[in-house]
Chain A
Amino acid sequence: MSMQEISYWNREIETISSEALRKLQLKRLKETVNTALKTPFYNARLKKAGINSADDIKRLEDIHKIPFTTKDDLRECYPNGLLSVDLNDVVRIHTSSGTTGTPTVIYHTKEDIDNWTELVARCIIATGSGKSDVFQNMMGYGMFTGGLGLHYGAERVGMTVIPIGGGNTVRQIQLMKDFKTTVLHITPSYLLHIHSKLAEGEISVKDLSLKKAYLGAEPYSENTRKKAEELFKIDAYNSYGLSEMNGPGVAFECIHKCGMHVWEDAYILEIIDPKTAEPLSEEKEGEIVFTTLMRKATPLLRYRSRDLAFIYKGGCKCKRTHRRISRITGRTDDMLIINGVNVYPSQIEQVIMRVPEVGTNYQIYLEKEGTLDKLIVKVEIYSKLFTGELKELDALRERIKEQLRASIIINPVVELHEPGSLPVFEGKAKRVVDTRTKL
């Protein structure tokens, strides 16, 4: 790999000097504060903190005067408390399902989408891919930002894009063969799942033309990357993003695979102690905090991602000056990532509490089925509403399954249990049992 020529999508900005980057960040932070002041939420929040205009931000360090923004703030702002432009100028909306039934929303102007696309194009070029590649995008399209984000970037670069989305493994394999796919965008667990399916069919790894895979949407270990690389004879690159910061394209590995470069002209990166909110130095693991620097429709200041990582010390061999973060090592909250989909236990609880025929005690059980995650939701039958009919139990199970799928987008297994049979906890209940060993 070290002999490979380094290519850049935007050499000037990607190799910008630290000094020039700080200057650019300050300029854009001021612009962002001005944009934010146009939103009802930040207008109140910033003025309370003594920030009445961009003039109150004189140095980059003044960012510490700005209060943090949390996921709860986003929920409370739904649907338009954080909208800073005329709705006529919005070209796209992405919402995520919320834990309490309230979703969060990010608006994008044409310029926002364009900037996002540029960031993703940088990521793709940084891995050594280019125009001649065939890109099979196995991430979900729609409200989930993973599919569309990479799609736009790949088209910008000029790759041949196969926008198949997730699932349907047999067809995925056939398309990979027929169109000589060279680059995949996929969750690590699904990539390993595809390998196990290859063994069952007639198409093998050597019939494919794969060179690279972009792995994201769920945490995984270095060993999983190595395993995927060996099984498919490819290079696998870490991808990181979150819908609040557009989606994918926030941080990506270059050909050296030693941490993910965060595009610091587009985001101010901070790592803080999740308990005290004190800033942490390089190499110290903490919660990632982002400030958008280029987004026009939904600016976010010091947004607490709840993702844990650390910043690597020193420069990268690729000469990009944008700092690198480690893979995500965990979360500060109880969010579960199930086959790449983010799920909060409270979303499951909310569905269960709406069903009168089951009790209030429940358990969420996670296990591996092959390389994929399996979610089992265990509930207790509520004695007083038990009719004795097996048919009604079948219907009840289906109904809970349907409602869960509508809320969390993944298909759970629903188990019915006898009243009082699930473990009861005194104090804080341990409702989630996660038996998945990290991939």
Chain B
Amino acid sequence: MAKQLNIFLENKPGRLKAVTELLYQNKINIRALSLQDRQDFGVLKIVVDKPEEAHIALTQKGFACALKDILAILMDDKPGGLHKITSLFVDNKINIQDAYAFVIESKKQAVLCVEVKDPKAIKVIIKKEGYKILEDEQLYEL
């Protein structure tokens, strides 16, 4: 199962930098990033190559952070690529809580990261439909 780190951050200058600085010091690479904002604070979501290490480093530094299971679905980087997956989710009555995507190889492959309620069960459904779901190591080796 791919892992995502959720970090509580106050919305003020320097807070994101505090995270990137710490990751840099620990030689951790960021694969994907997304930020949810509530004006005075937000939740930073990152996918990194060494999630457990990053989690320990951040916690030791006093950050409130949590490791979460996500689905990293490999999809075609072409018109309709994402549409096929969203249709699949609808057909199976799966609700997406949060999602973001990034391209691996332009016009060939992209990865959709989704947060769902029961990732383990849904992983089985998506796999059955012929999609490749990236495991931790595969995601970071890209």
Contacts and interface: CB of A to CB of B under 8 A. Distances in A.
Interface stretch (A46-54, A200-208, A335-343, A412-420): A412-420
Given A381-B64, A382-B64, A383-B64, A415 B8 contact: no
Interface string A313-340: 0000000000000000000000000000
A388 interface: yes
B126 interface: no
A386 B40 contact: no
Contacts, number: 54
The B contact surface, by secondary structure, is strand
B10 interface: yes
Interface string A20-39: 00000000000000000000
A395 interface: no
Interface in B83-122: none
Interface string B55-98: 00001001111111000000000000000000000000000000
A383 B43 CA distance: 13
A389 interface: yes
Contact of B6 (A382, A389, A418, A421): A389
B15 interface: yes
Nearest to B67: A388
Given A393-B43, A418-B9, A386 B38 contact: no
A12 interface: no
Interface in A367-423: 381-383, 386-390, 393-394, 415-421
A26 B22 CA distance: 75
Contacts of B38: 390, 393-394
Contacts of B15: 418
Contacts of B65: 383, 386, 388
B36 interface: yes
A390 B43 contact: yes
Nearest to A387: B66
Contact of A383 (B9, B10, B40, B62): B62
B41 interface: yes
Interface string B1-39: 000001111100001000000000000000000001010
Contact of A390 (B36, B62, B67): B36
Contact of B43 (A382, A388, A420): A388
A381 B66 contact: no
B63 to A, nearest CB: 7
Q: Interface residue tally of chain A, by bracket?
A: 10 to 19
Contact of A416 (B36, B41, B45, B67): B41
Contacts of A387: 6, 66
B37 to A, nearest CB: 9
Interface string B39-58: 01111010000000000000
Contact of B66 (A386, A394, A416, A421): A386
A106 B65 CA distance: 49
Given A382-B64, A383-B64, A388 B59 contact: no
B63 A419 contact: yes
Nearest to B45: A388
Contacts of A420: 62
A332 B140 CA distance: 62
A418 B36 contact: no
Contacts of A389: 6, 43
Interface string A414-439: 01111111000000000000000000
A417 B64 CA distance: 10
Given A393-B43, A416-B40, A418-B15, A386 B62 contact: no
A390 B66 CA distance: 12
Contacts of B62: 383, 418-420
B41 A388 contact: no
Most buried by A among B8, B36, B66, B68: B8
Contacts of B66: 386-388
Nearest to B43: A390
Contacts of A381: 8, 64
Interface in A239-289: none
Contacts of A416: 8, 40-41
B44 to A, nearest CB: 10
Contact of A418 (B59, B64, B68): B64
28 contacts: A381-B64, A382-B64, A386-B6, A386-B64, A386-B65, A387-B6, A387-B66, A388-B6, A388-B7, A388-B43, A388-B45, A388-B66, A388-B67, A388-B68, A389-B6, A390-B36, A390-B42, A393-B38, A393-B41, A415-B40, A416-B8, A416-B40, A417-B10, A418-B8, A418-B10, A418-B63, A418-B64, A420-B62
Q: Pick the 4 closest A-B CB pairs, nearest first.
A: A388-B6, A388-B66, A386-B64, A383-B64
Given A417-B10, A419-B62, 6 more contacts: A386-B8, A388-B7, A388-B8, A390-B42, A390-B43, A421-B10
Interface of B: 6-10, 15, 36, 38, 40-43, 45, 59, 62-68
